[in-house]
Chains A and B, each alone.
Chain A
Amino acid sequence: MSQGEIFAILGPNGAGKTTTVEILEGYRKRDSGEVRVLGEDPGNLGDKTYSWRERIGIVLQSTSDSGDLSVRETVHHFAKYYSKAKEPDSVISLTGLQDKSDAKIHTLSGGQRRRLDVALGIIGSPELLFLDEPTTGFDPEARRAFWELVRTLRAEGTTILLTTHYLDEAEALADRVAVIVDGRIVEIAPPETLGGRHQAQARITWVEGGKAHERLTMTPTTDVATISARVGGEVPELQVIRPSLEDIYLQMIGGKE
């Protein structure tokens, strides 16, 4: 991963996404291989443990604190752990929780709670932020708002490792995507070119002479022009379909999900 990048890990359930991320976060020991996160080995930090943790932020998959503290109390408290913490109230606004800052955590909705998790993940101004399935259970609007937040963080220079099983999320946010199947990375590429997607054939469907037609082609623009000339202008029910990230992904994981 390079600095300032949003890197997504995709994979079916049980493929090893969370295991991989937990090794990178220093929660789990690896069986073999080499790992470097911000120049350190998270499995063997020794006396660098705390200085290393100052530089990372972790948003876990599911945290549900007992919730008797308010949002403000919690964020202000976590800020004390870090030597270069952001201003807690500005983090509360950044995560859209300003109206909820005096609310007890147990009164928050799922989406608000998740935003609090993110607030606690970024409070220490991390260079590297881990987001493990951050929008699971969000409604579409909350998801869009969350994506905006992630883009804001990237604009501030935060490097982000995102795991998700929403392909639209990876496509909307990630600069590069790694696909994990059965514990192995099968490909790393930008979402636009993953699995040779940019070179894959497009499918054109249209209606001509009262019959539905379909064609796979490498040159959809030329083809559409030809068809249009033939039918004389507007082509009825014309569709040009590029394979979606989802199509490519499902092909890559080969029916594992």
Chain B
Amino acid sequence: MKVFRIGLLRGGLEIKQFMRQRESVVFTIFFPVILLFIFGSVFKNTIAPGVTFSQYFVAGMIASGLVNSGFQQLAIMIPMERDFGTLKRLRGTPMSPASYFIGKAILVTVSTLVQIALLMGFGVAMFGLHMPASPEKWLRFAWLIIVGSVCTTALGIAFSSVPKSGRGASAIVSPIVIILQFFSGVFFVFTQLPRWMQDFAAIFPLKWLTQGMRSVFLPDSFVQQEVAKSWEISRTALVLVVWSVIGIGFSIKRFKWDNE
């Protein structure tokens, strides 16, 4: 199947380009690790029996990793490629748009996995993070990564038609991600946030991803500390699927190949 074969080739090319761009490597891969190091070192307090803030924070940062690699990376990179004329040139070749998106999905998958592995490694080595304790938790971890990546990738591609220029993209996209991180219980314990912030965050996928990752990495007893007194697994799946559908629909309808 040519579409898939070219998609794989594009994936390889995307990764090669990614590795050669120091900014992207630092920004996407190392920045979350640095943040983890800072927050984990500063806030060492225990927030519940057997749970430190560092552990809580690593779970949130792993969830954020999905948003960084998928949504943030694509929503900044694609407008830049549009500015450069890369997209227009591709459009004039027999390459199918599907191959282009397969390539992006491969890039997101690889950078997500590398980022998560690094965060987990540092989390376990330095901040007492526990690996998922049972096969069910590993399984849940796996589907959270897969569905979460599909969701944030779709939303990243959808959002790529919003910024008018590549230069403006990161000024629009980065604040959205940072604000969502504050509202969704990454930088603060979610239950300590004002109610309106919690409600607002519940509209978006990140809150559900962080909650899901907590269900994987924190002891089961911690569920009593959650707002809903439950991990809300099926609701999490539902929210992620709905956002994926919205993202994919919008991408198909609105994707822009050039600036006009």
- Known A27-B258, A69-B17, A81-B6: A63·B89 in contact at CB below 8 Å: yes
A120 touches B89 (CB 8 A): yes
Q: In the complex, which residue of chain B has the Cβ closest to the Cβ of A53?
A: B94
A78 touches B84 (CB 8 A): no
Contact B13 A63 (CB under 8 A): no
Does the CB pair A69–B92 fall under 8 Å? Answer: no
The answer on a CB contact under 8 Å between A27 and B20 is: no
Query: Does A138 belong to the interface (CB within 8 Å)?
Result: no
Rounded to whole Å, the gap between the CB of A117 and the closest CB of chain B is: 8
Q: Is B9 within 8 A of A80, CB to CB? A: yes
Given contacts A65-B84, A66-B84, A66-B86, contact A78 B93 (CB under 8 A): yes
A25 at the interface (CB under 8 A from B): yes
The CA of A104 and the CA of B21, in the complex, are separated in Å by 12
Q: How far is the CB of A28 from chain B (nearest CB, A)?
A: 8
Interface residues of B toward A: which range?
20 to 34
The answer to whether A65 and B92 touch across the interface, beta carbons within 8 angstroms, is: no
B167 → chain A, closest Cβ, in Å? 13
Task: Identify A63's interface contact among B9, B21, B85, CB under 8 A.
Answer: B85
Contact A73 B16 (CB under 8 A): yes
A65 engages B86 (CB within 8 Å): yes
Q: Which of A3-11, A54-62, A230-238, A240-248 binds B? A: A54-62
Which chain B residue lies CB-closest to A64? B84
A124 to B95, CA, bound (A): 12
A120 to B6, CA, bound (A): 16
- When C-beta atoms are compared, the residue in chain B nearest to A26 turns out to be B92
Contacts of B91 in A (CB 8 A): 27
Cβ-based interface call for B191 (8 A): no
B80 on interface, CB distance cutoff 8 Å: yes
Distance to closest chain A CB from B118 (angstroms) = 22
| Contact status B94-A69, CB under 8 Å | no
Q: Does B88 contact A (CB under 8 A)?
A: yes
Interface SS, B side: helix
Bound-state Cα–Cα, A141 to B231, Å = 70
Residue interface bits A120-148, CB-to-B below 8 A is 1, else 0: 10001000000000000000000000000
CB <8 Å contact, B17 and A66: yes
From B6, B21, B81, B89, give the contact of A60 (CB < 8 A). B89
Which residues 87-122 in A have Cβ within 8 Å of B in the complex?
104, 120
Known: A66-B17, A68-B20. A53 touches B92 (CB 8 A): yes
The chain B residue sitting closest to A51, CB to CB, is B94
Residues 33 to 65 of chain A near chain B (Cβ within 8 Å): 50-51, 53-54, 56, 58, 60, 62-65
The 8 A CB mask of B240-260 against A (1 = contact, 0 = none) is 000000000000000000100
CA distance A49 to B201 in the complex (A): 43
Tell me how far the C-beta of B84 lies from the nearest C-beta in chain A, rounded to whole angstroms.
Answer: 5
Do residues A124 and B93 form an inter-chain contact, with CB atoms below 8 A? yes
Fill in one digit per residue for B15-33: 1 if any A CB lies within 8 Å of its CB, else 0. 0110011000000000000
Nearest chain A CB to B93 CB, angstrom units:
5
Which of A53, A64, A68 is the one whose CB lies under 8 Å from B21?
Answer: A68
Instruction: Please name all residues of chain B whose beta carbon is closer than 8 Å to the beta carbon of A120 when the two chains form the complex.
Output: 89
The answer to whether A58 and B85 touch across the interface, beta carbons within 8 angstroms, is: no
A131 to chain B, nearest CB (A): 13
Write the chain A residue with the least CB distance to B20: A68
State which residues 43-101 of B face A: CB under 8 Å. Answer: 80-81, 84-86, 88-89, 91-96
B85 / chain A contacts, CB cutoff of 8 Å? 60, 62-65
Determine the residue in chain B with the shortest Cβ distance to A66. B84
* A124 lies within 8 A of B94 (CB): yes
A107 shortest CB reach to chain B, Å:
13
List B residues at the A interface (Cβ < 8 Å): 6, 9, 13, 16-17, 20-21, 80-81, 84-86, 88-89, 91-96, 258
Query: Which 3 pairs of residues, A with B, have the shortest CB-CB distance?
Result: A63-B85, A58-B92, A68-B20
Q: List 9 A-B contacts (CB under 8 A).
A: A53-B93, A53-B94, A58-B89, A60-B92, A63-B84, A63-B88, A66-B81, A81-B6, A82-B93
Apart from A50-B96, A73-B13: 16 A-B pairs, beta carbons within 8 A: A27-B258, A53-B92, A60-B89, A60-B92, A63-B85, A63-B86, A63-B89, A64-B85, A66-B21, A66-B80, A66-B84, A73-B16, A77-B9, A81-B95, A83-B94, A124-B94
